[in-house]
Chains A and B, each alone.
Chain A
């Protein structure tokens, strides 16, 4: 990874925005006037934003600022954990396919092609319907369906790396395949993997919010941005702030991750998909 990538404004600005959002989600609930699941019986239900409740309250009198922060924790956590799951599968899959080549490569990548043609979002929904709505399953299911891009990109990069002289040197010096993969190939995948992971995070957040929108994601009283947007969308004519604040945070976060991914790709000189 080239030093100074974070000095460029195209990278620094979305990174700062994300840092702010993460900070707010982390410490926001302590700044809020009441816990995210507590009901304020003094305030009106579905009250407009005010000094006491900066984002207003929902139809049960719960503070929306606290709920947006707590929902943000969950949405961001889903993004990160699911991406880590997809990273683990995708890097391993792609590196093995690219390194060993031949029949193994053909078999592994043909499988990726087959999976690519399936409408994966529906599989996640099917999983949630069949196996209940446990939050751990959400993390794993989303990660398990979003590793295909990673596998393809890592494979391409590994193929290119294999032709490099320092890999030849490692082979000549008698290092085994596994050792070369772990010690020489994986570390050199850094840039590609970082860019791809940055672009996978918003996808995962989007899938979770989609599930929550359908009522299959996170269950009350816990919440996520998707669940909040769903609540807000139902009461849009009476309490528009219920939609605007969570939707604003969700969209800003996704936009920032996408911008960051694009900028990192340019800064690290990584080929596009």
Chain B
């Protein structure tokens, strides 16, 4: 177990390094500097600015400086939010984004597993076909279509929930649903496939032959192995939730990281965009690592003998 964790960690570290290096040199290769877009500055002012942000040093030196800063959590200053550090901006948005993401993940997991299990147990019935068509629709509807539609129906027409903002539990519901929907659909499809396979396995026939009640067969014997593919989906799902949160936070006006990202991208705030990409990347890599570890714990077949 420990060696497995060690090898996984050994893959995670180069992944993060590739992430940092790729992002940094992409940013460096971009035509034009961060101060080009504003009115043309006097040469000495530009030189001062470049010196202040160490942009006059060779690229490898800057990269070293950036890496050194990274090691103690310094992502550099924001180029647009004057006097704010990128790490500070991310720190402000992170709790909000994390809360939204956690609610959405919970919704996607419970809803997806429940609907997928229902579909698998009623395989090839009208209910199964209907649910799976809905799931495919959920995968095909981008969150920026779902989010305004939810606002239109539940906030503007019915006036049940707030149309945006971030105050109180009621304001979490609509964005969390918009965020969760594609993942919920994917998890439902996965659960249905896996549970269908497990239900055809010999040990389920043995359980049936023993005369176990259907409820016990499903919950104790079938569902647990069927959830392994769902577990391994959690890594991509986390990436999907982060991508989705960019849109959802923008549409609902939620002060999370996603909104900083959009604004940073539009304002060409290079350090902010880079910081957010790194933050998300590190989260995804960490999440994949944890999922891998959990998988090893839960599935005895993947343990080294």
Contact = CB atoms under 8 A, between A and B. Distances in A.
A237 B15 CA distance: 45
A119 B273 contact: no
B142 to A, nearest CB: 6
B152 A240 contact: yes
Given A118-B18, A121-B243, A258-B139, A126 B27 contact: yes
A82 interface: no
Contacts of B265: 125, 128-129, 214, 216
A271 to B, nearest CB: 12
B157 to A, nearest CB: 10
Given A126-B277, A129-B273, A119 B243 contact: yes
Interface string A199-212: 00010001001100
Interface string B130-173: 00000011011110110111011000100000000000000000
A238 to B, nearest CB: 11
B98 to A, nearest CB: 16
Contacts of B151: 236
Main secondary structure of the interface of B (DSSP, over half): helix
- Closest 9 interchain pairs by CB? A130-B30, A254-B140, A233-B148, A255-B140, A247-B145, A121-B243, A122-B277, A236-B148, A129-B265
Contacts of B261: 122, 125
A218 interface: no
Interface of A: 110, 113-115, 117-119, 121-123, 125-132, 202, 206, 209-210, 213-216, 226, 229-230, 232-233, 236-237, 240, 243, 247, 250-251, 254-255, 258-259, 262, 272
Interface in B216-251: 235, 239, 242-243, 246-247, 250-251
B195 to A, nearest CB: 15
30 contacts: A117-B15, A117-B284, A118-B285, A119-B242, A119-B281, A121-B239, A121-B243, A122-B261, A122-B276, A122-B281, A123-B22, A126-B26, A126-B27, A126-B274, A129-B265, A129-B268, A129-B270, A130-B30, A209-B142, A210-B243, A216-B266, A247-B141, A247-B149, A250-B142, A251-B145, A254-B141, A255-B140, A258-B136, A258-B139, A258-B140
A230 B250 CA distance: 11
B14 A119 contact: no
Contacts, number: 125
B196 to A, nearest CB: 12
Contacts of B140: 202, 251, 254-255, 258
Nearest to B250: A214
Given A118-B19, A131-B31, A214-B262, A126 B137 contact: no
Contacts of A258: 136, 139-140
A215 B277 CA distance: 18
Contacts of B251: 233
B280 interface: yes
Contacts of B149: 243, 247
Interface of B: 11-12, 14-15, 18-19, 22-23, 26-27, 29-31, 136-137, 139-142, 144-145, 147-149, 151-152, 156, 193, 235, 239, 242-243, 246-247, 250-251, 261-262, 265-266, 268, 270, 273-274, 276-277, 280-281, 284-285, 288
Main secondary structure of the interface of A (DSSP, over half): helix
Task: Specify which of A114, A127, A132, A206 lies most central, judged by the most chain B CB atoms within 10 Å of its CB.
Answer: A114
A122 B247 CA distance: 12
B302 to A, nearest CB: 16
Nearest to A234: B148
Task: Specify which of A118, A127, A251 lies most central, judged by the most chain B CB atoms within 10 Å of its CB.
Answer: A118
Contact of B27 (A114, A130, A251): A130
Contact of B144 (A117, A123, A216, A229): A229
A210 B144 contact: yes
Contacts of A202: 140
Contacts of A236: 148, 151-152, 156
A215 B262 CA distance: 9
Contacts of B22: 118, 123
Contacts of B247: 210, 213-214
B262 A123 contact: no
